[in-house]
Amino acid sequence: MLISEIYRNSKDPIISFEFFPPKTDAGYRTLFRTIEDLKQLAPGFVSVTMGAGGSTRSKTVDLTVEITREIGLVTMCHLPCTGFRPREIGGILEQLKAGDVHNVLALRGDPPQDDPDFEAPTDGFRYANELVAYIAERDDRDAFSIGAACAPETHPEAPDAATDIANIKRKVDAGADFLVSNFFFENAHFFDFVERCRAAGIEVPIVPGIMPIATVSGIRRMAAMNGTAIPAELDAELERVDDDAKATYALGVRWATIQCEELLARGVDGIQFYTLNRSPASREIFENLFG
Ligand SMILES: Cc1cc2nc3c(=O)[nH]c(=O)nc-3n(C[C@H](O)[C@H](O)[C@H](O)COP(=O)(O)OP(=O)(O)OC[C@H]3O[C@@H](n4cnc5c(N)ncnc54)[C@H](O)[C@@H]3O)c2cc1C
């Protein structure tokens, strides 16, 4: 099923979950328990990330196909184009189609941090809008719904917020059917971003990404990497719960629940949860919201 149709046809907000391909067998066992658990919440779809530079290509494609075929969920495969030639992207799309996966998140990606020798092919894609156009111009365009990424607090490399929004519009004009946002901790950033997108003529669903806090050091590192602001109130709470896993978990659930309540009240098309392959936090937030 195409995610563009899921958003178009649903009266209710679409809840979705993001997973990543684990490195170990134990990680896969945890992930499949997580997926079975979250399946009970009837998500609109789930998505699977692909490592920087396409490093987890086979694992990502295989996992996405397995979740589709064996577990029966609608899936989306993340597709970062840095590191791939167009013909390789074509090959991945063929594999996905053959595996009944019809949704891709078209991303630029980043060079892998653990590979100092990494070189992007010169005949590859420079930006995500080129990947979106490549998929949208294929003969099998109708076989895929295309999502793209956005950063409510502006992508760290963009010279300014207006240029970043103009670049997001390039992706939508090229054929992106919906946008999924980076995580943020202050809804005001998201609402302001959506308003500026609409003013710029971006009309597709813009879905907020919510990250339940797993560890204090982890969230600080990811926020710094992504240019996500940690508001003073949350910062103080993070200081308070540091080194206390239970209190960190409870803070993460409480903060995300409050964010989601307001997002839903303001009529978002859906919420994408970054699960980090664990179900309890997303499940508890879901239960807080929908009982
Ligand atoms: C929901 C979500 C899921 C993600 N999943 C993954 C994943 O699975 N794997 C992974 O490796 N990464 C993933 N990422 C991270 C993403 O790859 C990085 O944020 C990356 O730095 C930018 O990707 P993008 O698709 O937004 O790039 P782009 O849209 O190409 O933008 C990158 C930068 O270039 C600028 N830009 C865009 N187009 C142009 C243009 N035509 N000319 C000049 N400048 C331009 C933009 O303003 C921005 O600053 C994800 C991000 C999000 C939000």
What residue ranges do the domains of the chain occupy? 3-290
Task: Give the H/E segment covering residue 154.
Answer: none
The predicted structure's pLDDT at residue 155: 97
Q: What is the SS3 assignment for 91?
A: helix
Query: Is 233 assigned a catalytic role?
Result: no
Residue recorded with tokens 């797993």: 214
- Catalytic member of 18, 153, 237, 284: 18
CATH number of 3-290, picked from 3.40.50.620, 3.90.1150.10, 3.40.50.300, 3.20.20.220: 3.20.20.220
The best mutation among 82, 150, 155, 275 to test binding of ligand 1, ranked by most ligand atoms within 8 Å of the C-beta, falls on 155
Ligand 1 centroid–CA 29 distance in Å is: 30
Q: Whose CA is nearest to atom 12 of ligand 1?
A: 109
pLDDT of the residue at 168: 98
CA of 291 to the centre of ligand 1 (A): 35
Measured over the CA atoms of residue 175, residue 178, residue 182 and residue 185, the dihedral's sign is positive
Tokens of 29: 């066992």
Handedness of CA 238, 241, 242, 246 (dihedral sign): negative
pLDDT along the chain (291 residues), means of 10: 97 97 97 97 98 92 98 98 93 98 96 77 92 97 98 97 98 98 98 98 98 96 96 98 96 98 98 97 97 88
**Which three-class secondary structure state does DSSP give residue 257?**
helix
DSSP H or E run through 80: strand 75-80
Cα–Cα nearest to 280, from 255, 253, 241: 253
Is-contact 212 256, C-beta < 8 A?
yes
Torsion of CA 19, 22, 27, 28, to 10 degrees: 80
The helix/strand count (H/E) of the chain reads as 11, 8
Dist CA 88 CA 94 (whole Å) = 10
Q: What is the pLDDT of residue 238?
A: 98
Find the angle CA(139)-CA(145)-CA(146) to the nearest 5 degrees: 95
Q: What whole-number distance in Å separates Cα of residue 92 and Cα of residue 96? A: 6
What is the pLDDT at residue 242? 94
Spell out the residues 6+ positions from residue 265 whose beta carbon is closer than 8 angstroms to its own: none
The residues facing 147 across adjacent strands are 105, 178
Separation between Cα atoms, residue 195 and residue 224, nearest integer Å: 25
Give residue ranges with CB within 6 A of ligand 1.
49-50, 52, 78, 80, 105, 107-110, 127-129, 149, 155, 157-158, 164, 167, 170-171, 180, 182, 209
Note the pLDDT of residue 141.
96
